[in-house]
Amino acid sequence: MIEIKTLTNEILELSPEAQIMVAEFVHFLKAKAQQETPTVTPLNLENHDFVGMWSDRSEMQDSSQWVKNIRQDQWTR
């Protein structure tokens, strides 16, 4: 990566018109980077139909134990 001092010196050696073009290009790159940054929206699962779909099943009262049992059953065949 080019050092900032070297880059600064090279820009200062350019004509005033070219320096303006460099500045405009930097502003363009910054604006593009801000547009590309996705906004993170928290996931709200409460409004989805699948949440709680097994709440009335007795084997789901201890879901960790249920998973252990399923794994043991499937892996020992």
Does residue 60 contact residue 69 with C-beta atoms inside 8 Å?
A: no
At 49-60, the pLDDT tens digits run 888 888 888 888
At 2-51, the pLDDT tens digits run 899 999 999 999 999 999 999 999 999 999 988 877 778 888 888 888 88
**Single-letter amino acid, residue 7:** L
pLDDT reported for residue 7: 93
Report residue 64 as tokens.
């960790």
Q: What is the pTM (predicted TM-score) of this model? A: 0.45
Please choose, from the candidates 27, 28, 25, 22, the residue with its C-alpha nearest in 3D space to the C-alpha of residue 10.
22
pLDDT reported for residue 68: 92
